[in-house]
Amino acid sequence: MKRRSEPSLFKPKLSQSELKVDATTRAARAIINEEVNARDAKTERLRAARLRKEATESPVPVKKVPEKKTRRKS
């Protein structure tokens, strides 16, 4: 009976197709991470601009909506 080597010592060699899939996966994840970082940076930049704008503007009074009167049934 063969003894199995420790799984943490040796990694099995990947086939050629598995290598291609692995490279594609790594490239896709890198692109997705770059897009997420760019989106987060844009969100922070826009939030800061909005807060600066709101701080410099005078507050706009909120108009109260008149309550509707209920009609009596006659």
Taking only the tens place, the pLDDT of each residue in 59-68 is 777 788 878 8
Residue 2: pLDDT band (50, 70, 90) is: low
User: Would residue 74 count as lying in a domain?
Assistant: no
Domain encompassing residue 39:
15-56
Which parts of the chain fold into alpha helices (H)? 16-56
In the predicted model, is pLDDT for residue 12 greater than 90?
no
- Output DSSP code: residue 10: -
User: Would residue 19 count as lying in a domain?
Assistant: yes
Phi and psi at 9, nearest 5°, equal -85, -45
User: Would residue 28 count as lying in a domain?
Assistant: yes
The pTM (predicted TM-score) of the whole model is: 0.56
Residues 44 and 52: beta-carbon distance below 8 Å: no
Q: What is the tally of structural domains in the chain?
A: 1
- At 47-57, the pLDDT tens digits run 999 999 999 98
Residues 25 and 32: beta-carbon distance below 8 Å: no
User: Would residue 39 count as lying in a domain?
Assistant: yes
Q: Which residue has the tokens 């063969």?
A: 2
User: Would residue 33 count as lying in a domain?
Assistant: yes
Higher pLDDT, 16 or 28: 28
User: Would residue 35 count as lying in a domain?
Assistant: yes
